[in-house]
Amino acid sequence: MSKNTSSTAYRKVNVDAYDEDNYEDESQAVDNAAQVNARDAEVKKLLTGGNTEGALKAALADPPLDAKDQSLKARATLHFLVMRLKTHDALGRDKSVASVLSVLTATKTADIAKIVGNLNPEQIDVLMKYVYRGMNVDGKSKNDENQSGILLAWHAAVFAVGGHGSIIRVITDRRSL
C-alpha cells in the first residue's frame, strides 16, 4: 500500500503565500484612492472647460487595474456618466469607470474618431477595457440604451484604430477594471 498522496503535511513552506494574486498591499489602496480622487477632479475641470480630449487622456491615465477595492475601479469609470445621469448609487459602478464613461458620454459623436486617432496604443487598449466595462450594465435604466449606443460608437472607433489585437489584448489581460 502507498502512503496518502493527497496530504500536504509534508510541506514545510507555504508556497501559496508567494502567489502574486494573494499578495495585498494596504498602503497601495490608500494611494490608489487619493490618485483616483485627484484624477476625478482633473477630469471634471477639463470637461467643464470643454476639453474632452484632454479629459479622456486624463481619465485613461494610470487605471486602477490591480486595485482590490472594486469601488475604486468603479469610481474612475463612472465619473462622466454620473455627471450626466446623476445616478451613481443606482448604477453601482466604480469611480474610475464613472470617470471615463462621463467623458465618453460628454463627447460629440463627430469628434470620437479624431480623439481616438490621437491616443497611443496603450491608451487604446485601456479605452477598450473601459468600453467593455461600460457595456456591462443591468439594462434597467432608460439611459442605459443611450449609453449603449454611445459605447458602440466608441467601440467602432477604437476598433478602427486598434484592430483585433486590441480586443484580444483586453480579453486576455488578467487585470480587470
Half-sphere exposure of 10 (CA within 13 A, CB side): 5
Per-residue pLDDT, 172 = 92
Per-residue pLDDT, 92 = 34
Q: Which residues pair with 96 in a beta bridge?
A: 76
Half-sphere exposure of 7 (CA within 13 A, CB side): 7
List pLDDT tens digits, range 107-146.
899 999 999 999 999 999 999 999 998 888 665 555 566 7
Per-residue pLDDT, 168 = 95
Per-residue pLDDT, 58 = 85
pLDDT grade for 30, boundaries at 50, 70 and 90: low
Q: Which H or E element spans position 76?
A: helix 70-85
Place of cell 475601479: 73
CA 19 – CA 35 distance, rounded (Å): 26
- What fold characterizes domain 15-172? 1.25.40
Per-residue pLDDT, 80 = 45
Instruction: Say if residue 3's pLDDT is above 50.
Output: yes
In 3-state terms, what secondary structure has residue 140? coil
Q: Which own/partner contact pairs does 6-11 have at CB distance under 8 Å and 24+ positions apart?
A: none
CA 80 – CA 77 distance, rounded (Å): 7
The cell for 67 is 486595485
**Separation of CA 54 from chain center:** 17
Q: What angle do CA 34, 25, 82 make, to 5 degrees?
A: 35
Per-residue pLDDT, 110 = 92
Higher pLDDT, 57 or 155: 155
Burial class (CB in 10 A: 0-12, 13-18, 19+), 65: middle
List pLDDT tens digits, range 77-97.
544 444 443 333 333 346 778
